[in-house]
C-alpha cells in the first residue's frame, strides 16, 4: 500500500497503489492535505488504476477530500 501525490501544472494526482485500508489512514490524510494546500492546484484527480482494495476508511478519506475541496472552491 502506497499513496503518493504528483503535480502536473494545476492538477494534483493522488495515486493509490495496492490495498488501501485503515492502516493507510494517516498517509491518505497527508496526501489530501498536500493536494489541498498547494496554492496553484485547481483540480485533484485520484488514480485508482493500481489500487487492489479500498475499505470503508479509504472511502471516508475520499468523501472528506471532496468536502474539503468543495468548501475551498466556494
Give the CATH number of the domain where residue 30 resides: 3.30.750.24
Q: Which domain covers residue 26, as residue numbers?
A: 2-73
- In whole angstroms, give the CA distance from residue 56 to residue 39: 29
Q: What is the pLDDT of residue 8?
A: 97
For 33-56, what is each residue's pLDDT tens digit?
999 999 999 999 999 999 999 999
Total of domains in the chain? 1
User: Residue 50 forms beta bridges with which residues?
Assistant: 17
Query: DSSP character for 18?
Result: E
In a 13 Å sphere around the CA of 57, the CA atoms on its Cβ side amount to 11
Question: At 74, is the pLDDT very low, low, confident or very high (cuts 50, 70, 90)?
Answer: low
**Average pLDDT value for residue range 21-26:** 93
**What angle separates helix 25-37 from helix 56-73, to the nearest 10 degrees?**
20
Amino acid at each position: 500500500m502506497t499513496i503518493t501525490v504528483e503535480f502536473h501544472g494545476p492538477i494534483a494526482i493522488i495515486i493509490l497503489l495496492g490495498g488501501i485500508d485503515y492502516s493507510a489512514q494517516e498517509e491518505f490524510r497527508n496526501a489530501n492535505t498536500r493536494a489541498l494546500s498547494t496554492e496553484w492546484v485547481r483540480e485533484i484527480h485520484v488514480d485508482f488504476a493500481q489500487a487492489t482494495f479500498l475499505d470503508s476508511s479509504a472511502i471516508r478519506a475520499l468523501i472528506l477530500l471532496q468536502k474539503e475541496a468543495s468548501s475551498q472552491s466556494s
